[in-house]
Amino acid sequence: MSSVSVLFVCMGNICRSPTAEGVFRYFVETAGLAKRINIDSAGTHGYHAGEAPDPRSSMAAARRGYDLSRLRARQVKTADFEMFDLVLAMDEQNLRNLQRLCSPAQQHKLKLFLEYARNFDEREVPDPYYGSGSGFEHVLDLVEDASAGLLTDLRKRLANSQS
């Protein structure tokens, strides 16, 4: 395994999953692994296909140094399950949606993103869309923590593949 690919998934791909993509991309680039780790995000629903991330997500991310401006929402495709090594859902409902779409042979790629978190006991990244600005900050806290754990895991995978 000389490279690995990760797809972050929420419902509409305008709040949680683009935040995860932007934060994790920053972590990967800072670690010098951008050529070895491919990152994308998508939604289980196509409500916002082609749209930029929610302005509240973008502003919260920008305050912490993450740029979401080039991201655009898209819906998960069946080809994603072949193309990506990990498909990480933000919550249980979207994980169930992915399980219904995914072939049995690819089910092992599906996980909850917060399985990689170290400092939070939550299993799901809550949807901040209908809430206040503090919800977007909490999403960032969770995503930063899980991104650090995911990067540690992927570094080990990549190192083991070279031995």
pLDDT band at 162 (very low <50, low <70, confident <90, very high): confident
Q: pLDDT tens-digit profile of 148-157? A: 999 999 999 9
Q: Which residue has the tokens 């919550």?
A: 91
57 vs 9, 89, 144, CA distance in Å?
Answer: 15, 18, 14
pLDDT of 1: 58
10 is catalytic: yes
CA atoms within 13 A on the CB side of 113: 33
145 is catalytic: no
15 is catalytic: no
pLDDT of 66: 98
The one catalytic residue among 16, 25, 56, 74: 16
- Alpha-carbon gap, residue 71 to 69, rounded angstroms: 6
- How far does CA 90 lie from the centroid of its chain? 7
Domain positions in the chain are 4-162
The one catalytic residue among 40, 80, 91, 127: 127
Looking at the structure, give the CATH architecture of the domain made up of residues 4-162: 3-Layer(aba) Sandwich (3.40)
Q: What's this model's pTM, rounded to 2 decimal places?
A: 0.97
Q: pLDDT tens-digit profile of 2-60? A: 899 999 999 999 999 999 999 999 999 999 999 999 999 999 999 999 999 999 999 99
The one catalytic residue among 10, 15, 25, 74: 10
